[in-house]
A and B are shown apart, each in its own frame.
Chain A
Amino acid sequence: MISCRHEYQLGKGAPLAVAWGRMVMLAVILMLVVAFPAQAQQSIVRGTVVAEDDGEPLQGVNITLYRGDVLVTGAASGSDGFYALASIEAGEYTMRATYVGFQAWEQDLDIGNGDRRIINIVLAAGDNELEEVIVEGDSDAGMARVLAGQTTLRPADLERIPSPDVSGDLVNYLTTVPGIVSIGDRGGQLFIRGGEPWQNLVLLDGMWVYQPFHILGFFSAFPTDILQQVDIYAGGYTSQYGGRISSVIDIKSRNGDKRGYAGSASVAPFVSGFTLEGPIADDIVSFLVSYRESVIDQGASRLVDEELPFEFDDFFAKTHAFINANTQLSLSLLRTNDRGSVFEGNDLEDPEYIDWENRAVSARYLVFPRAFPIMAEFILSGSRLKSTQTGVTEEVRYSKLSSVNTTVNVTHYHRNSEVRWGLFARTLELQSSLDGLYQGFFFRKEYATEVGAYLEPEFMLPFGWQVRAGFRIHSFPSQDSGFLEPRFRAVKVRDRDEFTLAAGVFHQEIVGLTDRRDAAGVFTAWTTSTFDQGVPEAIHAIAGYRRQVNRRLEVSLEGYAKKLNNLFIPEWTAYPRFTTRIQSAEGRVLGGDLRIAYRKGPFDGFVTYGLSNVRYSAQQESLELWYGTNELDFRPAHDRRHQINAVASLDLKPFAIDVRWQFGSGLPYSRALGFDGFMVVDGDLDVFSDAGNRRVIYEEPYNGTLPTYHRLDITLERTMKIASGVNLKALAGVINMYDRQNLFYLDVFTLRRVDQLPLIPTFGLKLEYE
């Protein structure tokens, strides 16, 4: 039985687990029925496409099959370079592979009945690479290429964003995406289309990374050097993803060079590090290692003559192997450490130091069996996040989240469509010691399990709509709950126009509790949603339009709406302390993005505008008493109404100039009328011995608006060849060029404002060996 909230109510305890087991089994059977239609004696050609110079898989390679001059079928390679051409009749063909910047590849094929061919393709870089005309539509990445909330990024996109480090970082690009709100230079928190940080799912090679952004806002655990591709789903994501209600950032790392050793070492005022990669067995096994460590004390702090109490480091290692012609195995490891002070204290409260560490490992096995037109991905990963928040002398709060995740994703290839299905199981251990501040609990240890399955066929509808519609069964046996989540994505391409739609229902059983009274809270305690108000739920709807105006200009427009149910937000209180008592709330998000990308010759740039309107409706019991209403509608602290980003890159070889300007309208905050004291006046009151408490006389919550935020960053980069295969990249630039005093944190109790980073000259050197 399905309730209107898509929640199964199947009973309690063991009977529920049995019922869920049956439900998942039925779903698997249904998937197999849908995924294995009769294939007759038709043939399949599959394989991977890699680059000749380093053996890295190439995504987006156009693979076509011709009979004479007639195009029979075609496909584009996926993120692992995998392609499949299915349902091919016997005959003689010419197979071609083309990709921008690479020489075209061609091979004649004589295909018999029921052939199962594996053809791995190696593409050589084109001699005319620099002069090659970029054909619009060939690339599926870039800022304006938004596809119903999905933006795909490649390392080259990231390199265009000015950064204080000579190597780029994913987070700097993310903050240019409309709808992604960063609180500022510190804290490492991103709010995506109205969602809160704990509602974002961040995956690296299938590993769940729970707090991936460093405490200094310019850096994440993902330096550009390790990235192959990043898919950002700002909403409406496919059935493959679940357990989060706001967004998905799915990151694939590079495999490392299988032909030769390469590496780099860099120094800059904020961070220094190195990357090393190379073959372990030529063309078969490779490795990639990256390490960065902040050097703020020795560098940036001295440049600005200001204490910047932030330390972090990250380490990533990966090894990848082509086990044989149709299987791949990769092992990845990520480790990050952060420590610093975000709240620097006031007259009544001590400064608070936060530190967190991520540990994650994964094994990813890819296989495309010879007998079936499928690709299967098996991921086994483990992740752990430990966070502590300490005062001057003692540990105050502690939270630990550990999980083991197993996932199977299967793609069935048909002539003009795909069917995807998968299974997943996760076990989690959640542990918190919270000093009684969260819902009054001091120490809590929980175990949770998530299991489920999804099915998502892709098919064509009339009028040219390509639809991917499916559902996800997401069960939480340990919580006696489960959900059926419908998902839908559709694309229609007509000449230069592209129309997209997406919708879906999402649930999140594991929730993060954070003090969001001023949006600067960083410490997050993870727990199961065992409170009375139910499991947080989001319903997304997205509609988009993109037009390739001409070869140089691309414009996209997207509108979105989210309905948020069963949210947890802090209760209001007039006590001048950071409350973590939770009340329930509903929310809704309305917004739109405009993206304009332009490139001509050495110029490449884009302008984005994001409009967002986030409203929460709180349901604290005392609202009737305080404000005369059962519900209070307000803008939460992360509701940035207007956001503009302009990025321009000019490649005047050997120099490259990158410019970025950001603008964000002010965030809401709660204004005070003044400060007094409070005492409970009952018969026990003794004014000579009762000290009472200080109190804030607030207006209604979040009635004020902080100043706008804007900043200009410029970097100039030059690459010099100093020996064969050895380049030195030098970077100089200015962060916050016109020294704008952007507010990071306003202590309304003391009127003390903490500004974001002032004008900072930056420079860096990076030695690259190939």
Chain B
Amino acid sequence: MMMTNTDMNPSLCGFQRLIRLLPVLFVAFLVLSTGCEEAVDPVLKTDEAFSLYGYLDPSSDIQAVRVFSIDGVLENTQATPLDAEIRTINQNSGEEVVWRDSIITYRDRTIGHVYYAGFRAGHDTPYRLVATRSDGRTTSVDVRTPPDGQATIRNIYSARSQVLVEMTWSNVPRVIQAEVSYFVSVPFPDGTDTTTVRVDIKSGRVSENSDGTWSVSILPSADIGVIFSALQLQPGRDTVFLDHIEVRAFVTSDDWESPVGVFDPELLVQPGTFSNVDDGFGFVGGGYFDTFEFQLANDVARNAGFSIK
């Protein structure tokens, strides 16, 4: 006798009932789901109010920081006043300075807010910079400006085509970069006179010494090639006389340190990666360029590749 499906397996009976119920369940699901229009809110909002970038410069009479408001929509900044009041408080003296907004149109035609104040920050002085929105939300950052450093030449190594000058900056928390300017004299083509030219090279190498001081090294014998190239001169044919060298070390507050050792924008762009701002993002430090000038002795200048008068 032929068996029916139900005869074959009693458990199928229940299974088939369930299958028959599926259309009903499906319709119910359809009715329920069609009533739900879901909105999507891709921006969660944040309590942070501003992002601040810049530094207090004890060597300048104007202090300035760039201020970005943290918005819920990404759009280009408009040329309208920013809802922000910026002020600094000298934590030692209690002196308070209110900063002014300036609307800058940059070369790429974007617009930005730069707040500035006309005062000279003191060396080794703690400041609090506070940005306040009209709803009372604030972003703040504590900055200690670096002390006035002292630079000395520690060593000059000189051999034919090999000249290394080592300088030491003492009494500074940190040096993060150094630039070198060579002031050179170049004869006119007819040889009647010379003209002085400044060539800037970002060739200074910075390192921290074990005693807490900072070394800045330059290699004039290597930089001479860049100088000839910049002046479109030819070594061996043309002459370049060295007047003096100016080294500018950027001295900063102690917290001005990239977590990756270099200031790579692709790495530091992640919010919070390099930030000292409370209730906001960005970085505001204390720093200044400390300039040190010196001249090389004739034999050293000759070894570096310069001509001697």
Asked if A574 and B270 make an inter-chain contact with CB atoms under 8 angstroms apart, the answer reads yes
Asked if A697 and B42 make an inter-chain contact with CB atoms under 8 angstroms apart, the answer reads no
Stretch at the interface among A271-279, A498-506, A523-531, A670-678: A670-678
Asked if B64 and A687 make an inter-chain contact with CB atoms under 8 angstroms apart, the answer reads yes
Q: How far is the CB of B33 from chain A (nearest CB, A)?
A: 6
Contact with A along B112-139 (1 / 0, CB 8 A): 1010000000000000000000000000
A622, CB-defined interface residue at 8 Å: yes
Query: Which B residues are in CB contact (< 8 Å) with A549?
Result: 5, 12, 15-16, 19
Stretch at the interface among B69-77, B91-99, B150-158: B69-77
Stretch at the interface among A5-13, A119-127, A149-157, A699-707: A699-707
B193, CB-defined interface residue at 8 Å: no
Cα-based distance from A696 to B260 in the complex (angstroms): 21
Asked if B267 and A687 make an inter-chain contact with CB atoms under 8 angstroms apart, the answer reads no
Cα-based distance from A598 to B26 in the complex (angstroms): 15
Q: How far is the CB of B283 from chain A (nearest CB, A)?
A: 5
A681, CB-defined interface residue at 8 Å: yes
Query: Which B residues are in CB contact (< 8 Å) with A553?
Result: 16, 19
Given A675-B74, A677-B66, does the pair A751, B42 have CB atoms closer than 8 Å? Answer: yes
Q: Which of A622-678 contact B (CB under 8 A)?
A: 622, 625-626, 646, 661, 663, 666, 669, 671-678
Asked if A685 and B42 make an inter-chain contact with CB atoms under 8 angstroms apart, the answer reads no
Asked if A687 and B53 make an inter-chain contact with CB atoms under 8 angstroms apart, the answer reads yes
Given A694-B74, A740-B34, does the pair A673, B43 have CB atoms closer than 8 Å? Answer: yes
A728, CB-defined interface residue at 8 Å: no
Question: Among B73, B107, B283, which residue has its beta carbon within 8 angstroms of that of A751?
Answer: B73
Q: Which of B268-286 contact A (CB under 8 A)?
A: 268-271, 273-274, 281-285
- Give the size range of A's interface with the partner: 35 or more
Question: Among A674, A679, A680, which residue has its beta carbon within 8 angstroms of that of B72?
Answer: A674
Q: Which of B149-199 contact A (CB under 8 A)?
A: 176-177
Query: Which A residues are in CB contact (< 8 Å) with B54?
Result: 681, 685, 687
Asked if A707 and B38 make an inter-chain contact with CB atoms under 8 angstroms apart, the answer reads yes
A712, CB-defined interface residue at 8 Å: yes
A689, CB-defined interface residue at 8 Å: yes
Stretch at the interface among B44-52, B221-229, B293-301: B44-52
Cα-based distance from A751 to B274 in the complex (angstroms): 27
Query: Which B residues are in CB contact (< 8 Å) with A697?
Result: 46, 48, 70, 271, 281
Query: Which A residues are in CB contact (< 8 Å) with B285?
Result: 681
Asked if B42 and A672 make an inter-chain contact with CB atoms under 8 angstroms apart, the answer reads yes
Given A681-B55, A683-B177, A710-B33, does the pair A675, B64 have CB atoms closer than 8 Å? Answer: no
Q: Which of B42, B110, B268 has the most CB of A within 10 A?
A: B42
Asked if A673 and B26 make an inter-chain contact with CB atoms under 8 angstroms apart, the answer reads no
Q: Which of B76-119 contact A (CB under 8 A)?
A: 76, 104, 106-108, 110, 112, 114
Question: Among B30, B46, B66, B283, which residue has its beta carbon within 8 angstroms of that of A692?
Answer: B66
Asked if B270 and A683 make an inter-chain contact with CB atoms under 8 angstroms apart, the answer reads no
Question: Among B71, B108, B289, which residue has its beta carbon within 8 angstroms of that of A676?
Answer: B71
A251, CB-defined interface residue at 8 Å: no
Stretch at the interface among A32-40, A214-222, A741-749: A741-749
Q: How far is the CB of A539 from chain B (nearest CB, A)?
A: 33
Q: Which of B16, B110, B250 has the most CB of A within 10 A?
A: B110
Given A672-B43, A677-B68, A710-B34, does the pair A750, B75 have CB atoms closer than 8 Å? Answer: yes
A347, CB-defined interface residue at 8 Å: yes
B65, CB-defined interface residue at 8 Å: yes
Q: Which of A54-70 contact B (CB under 8 A)?
A: none
Question: Among A607, A676, A704, A750, which residue has its beta carbon within 8 angstroms of that of B26?
Answer: A607
Asked if B74 and A682 make an inter-chain contact with CB atoms under 8 angstroms apart, the answer reads no
Query: Which B residues are in CB contact (< 8 Å) with A575?
Result: 269
Query: Which A residues are in CB contact (< 8 Å) with B45?
Result: 673-674
A550, CB-defined interface residue at 8 Å: yes
Query: Which A residues are in CB contact (< 8 Å) with B26?
Result: 607, 646, 661
Asked if A689 and B73 make an inter-chain contact with CB atoms under 8 angstroms apart, the answer reads no
Asked if A674 and B46 make an inter-chain contact with CB atoms under 8 angstroms apart, the answer reads yes
Cα-based distance from A753 to B37 in the complex (angstroms): 14
B39, CB-defined interface residue at 8 Å: yes
Cα-based distance from A682 to B287 in the complex (angstroms): 9
A463, CB-defined interface residue at 8 Å: no
Question: Among B39, B48, B53, B289, which residue has its beta carbon within 8 angstroms of that of A679?
Answer: B53
B266, CB-defined interface residue at 8 Å: yes
Question: Among A679, A746, A749, which residue has its beta carbon within 8 angstroms of that of B74?
Answer: A749
Query: Which B residues are in CB contact (< 8 Å) with A748?
Result: 42-43
Q: How far is the CB of A739 from chain B (nearest CB, A)?
A: 10
Asked if A687 and B42 make an inter-chain contact with CB atoms under 8 angstroms apart, the answer reads no
Question: Among A348, A666, A738, which residue has its beta carbon within 8 angstroms of that of B34?
Answer: A738
**Nearest residue, chain B, Cβ from A553:** B19
Given A678-B269, A712-B30, does the pair A746, B40 have CB atoms closer than 8 Å? Answer: yes
A573, CB-defined interface residue at 8 Å: yes
Question: Among A574, A646, A661, A682, which residue has its beta carbon within 8 angstroms of that of B176?
Answer: A682
Question: Among B22, B65, B107, B283, which residue has its beta carbon within 8 angstroms of that of A596?
Answer: B22
Given A574-B271, A596-B19, A679-B53, does the pair A687, B106 have CB atoms closer than 8 Å? Answer: no
Asked if B267 and A576 make an inter-chain contact with CB atoms under 8 angstroms apart, the answer reads no
Q: How far is the CB of A176 from chain B (nearest CB, A)?
A: 15
Query: Which B residues are in CB contact (< 8 Å) with A694?
Result: 74, 76
A708, CB-defined interface residue at 8 Å: yes
Cα-based distance from A748 to B74 in the complex (angstroms): 8
Q: How far is the CB of B255 from chain A (nearest CB, A)?
A: 11
**Nearest residue, chain A, Cβ from B104:** A688
**Nearest residue, chain A, Cβ from B260:** A625
Given A348-B74, A679-B53, A706-B40, does the pair A674, B48 have CB atoms closer than 8 Å? Answer: yes
B259, CB-defined interface residue at 8 Å: yes
Query: Which B residues are in CB contact (< 8 Å) with A674?
Result: 43, 45-46, 48, 70-72
B10, CB-defined interface residue at 8 Å: no
Query: Which A residues are in CB contact (< 8 Å) with B110?
Result: 691
A599, CB-defined interface residue at 8 Å: no
A492, CB-defined interface residue at 8 Å: no
Cα-based distance from A553 to B5 in the complex (angstroms): 11
A96, CB-defined interface residue at 8 Å: no
Contact with B along A697-739 (1 / 0, CB 8 A): 1110000101110101000000000000000000000000010
Q: How far is the CB of A626 from chain B (nearest CB, A)?
A: 5
A563, CB-defined interface residue at 8 Å: no
Cα-based distance from A681 to B68 in the complex (angstroms): 14
Cα-based distance from A418 to B45 in the complex (angstroms): 64
Cα-based distance from A185 to B265 in the complex (angstroms): 38
**Nearest residue, chain B, Cβ from A684:** B177
Asked if B73 and A675 make an inter-chain contact with CB atoms under 8 angstroms apart, the answer reads yes
Q: Which of A669, A676, A680, A746 has the most CB of B within 10 A?
A: A676
Cα-based distance from A268 to B195 in the complex (angstroms): 81
Question: Among A663, A671, A679, which residue has its beta carbon within 8 angstroms of that of B43?
Answer: A671
Query: Which B residues are in CB contact (< 8 Å) with A707?
Result: 38-40
**Nearest residue, chain A, Cβ from B12:** A549
A117, CB-defined interface residue at 8 Å: no
A252, CB-defined interface residue at 8 Å: no
Q: Which of B66, B72, B256 has the most CB of A within 10 A?
A: B66
Q: How far is the CB of B131 from chain A (nearest CB, A)?
A: 12
Given A549-B5, A753-B40, does the pair A678, B265 have CB atoms closer than 8 Å? Answer: yes
Question: Among A596, A626, A672, which residue has its beta carbon within 8 angstroms of that of B273?
Answer: A626
Which residues of A are in contact with B by a Cβ distance under 8 Å? Answer: 346-348, 549-550, 553, 573-576, 596, 598, 607, 622, 625-626, 646, 661, 663, 666, 669, 671-685, 687-699, 704, 706-708, 710, 712, 738, 740-741, 743, 746, 748-751, 753
Q: 9 smallest A-B Cβ distances: which pairs?
A: A683-B250, A707-B38, A691-B106, A677-B68, A676-B51, A749-B74, A675-B74, A673-B46, A679-B53
Return 6 A-B CB contacts under 8 Å, by A number: A347-B76, A673-B46, A673-B48, A674-B43, A685-B55, A698-B271
A683-B177, A751-B72 provided; 20 other pairs, C-beta below 8 A? A347-B76, A348-B74, A550-B16, A574-B270, A576-B74, A674-B43, A674-B48, A675-B74, A681-B282, A683-B287, A687-B53, A687-B54, A691-B107, A691-B110, A693-B265, A706-B40, A707-B39, A712-B34, A740-B37, A750-B75
